[in-house]
Amino acid sequence: MLNSDLKLSASIFADDIEKASTRDGVGKGTIEAGKNDPRIVVLCADLAESTRAEWFQKEFPDRFVEMGVAEQNMAAVAAGMANAGKIPFMASYAAFNPGRNYEQIRTTIALNHVSVKICGMHAGVSVGPDGATHQMLEDIGLMRMLPGMTVSVPGDAEEARKAVVAAATTDGPVYIRFGRTATPVFTTSETPFQIGKAITLWESNAPKVAILSTGSLSYSALIAARALSESGIESIVLHAPTVKPLDEKAILDAVQSAGCVVTVEEHQAAGGFGSVIAEFLSQHHPVPMRLLGVMDTFGQSGEPDQLLKHYGLDAIHIEEAARALVSIKV
């Protein structure tokens, strides 16, 4: 059943549930953070409209810097601004930020542990028609490997806003991953959010499988959990908006209760969220697992829903993976 303590959307399973792109959280979140702290500045690489950085620009024009198509330079400038006492948010497509400027992020930002907040937009296959070059599927792996880097993957636009606001007061570098497509807003302003904490969206007294998810696919995991419940298979859906640091206690509690795990992410299965969970559980509580993600291939052009179905990441495939895992466990 839905966790009523989380104060999720009253329309969570309705056909007319509100939808918005998680990238909207950048615009709203940076404005909110900017009002709270005059040290907040925003840098963008010629994509202010797409990244929603222009929302901040309109509110604080003297605290916005347009870097042009120069993501590597943007990272170096952001690091310098952080060293000078500012709190920079730098925004571009994830394919370029951290894709193109990874060395600068590693050396000038992470190695020096400066408080630069890296906003990677249009990540995952749900970017749609832009195709493989712009569908960044390796960014979680790249960023979680950097020492001292916080990595957040919000589930919806409201949670994205909260993640941006929280990042502003988080020590050191932070990477936040955002999508392009409008997805269900299943949380509310009252739903708790804290860096490093996972939340149980769907709970059960006798779960047979735990579905661990991150990003907007957590909503699909909820749809799958409801379908499983209607057929007599109870589950837990644990949404982890922070991949690093990992909420180890919440994950361990869910896994010990359920006995098997399906992980769900819009990213390469290798090196991503599923790998994080597998690394942790292999050392603390090994159980049967199924990792759902993109399997050692690049993206392609198509409509978002078509691509999620093609790569086995929609609610039906999550449900099928859970059923298969439960049957093996039994």
The pLDDT value recorded for residue 125 is: 96
What is residue 164's predicted lDDT score, i.e. its pLDDT?
98
How confident is the model at residue 330, as a pLDDT?
A: 57
Q: What is the largest CA-CA distance in the chain?
A: 62
pLDDT in tens, the chain (330 residues): 999 999 999 999 999 999 999 999 999 999 999 999 999 999 999 999 999 999 999 999 999 999 999 999 999 999 999 999 999 999 999 999 999 999 999 999 999 999 999 999 999 999 999 899 999 999 999 999 999 999 999 999 999 999 999 999 999 999 999 999 999 999 999 999 999 999 999 999 999 999 999 999 999 999 999 999 999 999 999 999 999 999 999 999 999 999 999 999 999 999 999 999 999 999 999 999 999 999 999 999 999 999 999 999 999 999 999 999 999 865
8 A C-beta contact, residue 252 and residue 294: no
In the chain the domains, ranked by start, together with CATH numbers, are 19-184 (3.40.50.970), 196-329 (3.40.50.920)
Q: What is residue 110's DSSP assignment?
A: I
8 Å CB contact between 46 and 69: yes
Active-site residue numbers? 71
- The pLDDT value given to residue 329: 66
Per-residue confidence (pLDDT) for residue 40, from 0 to 100:
98
DSSP of 157-204, one letter per residue?
Answer: HHHHHHHHHHHHTSSS-EEEE--SS-EE----TTS---TT--EEEE--
3-state secondary structure 214-281: CCCHHHHHHHHHHHHHHCCCCEEEEECCEEECCCHHHHHHHHHHHCCEEEEEEEECCCCHHHHHHHHH
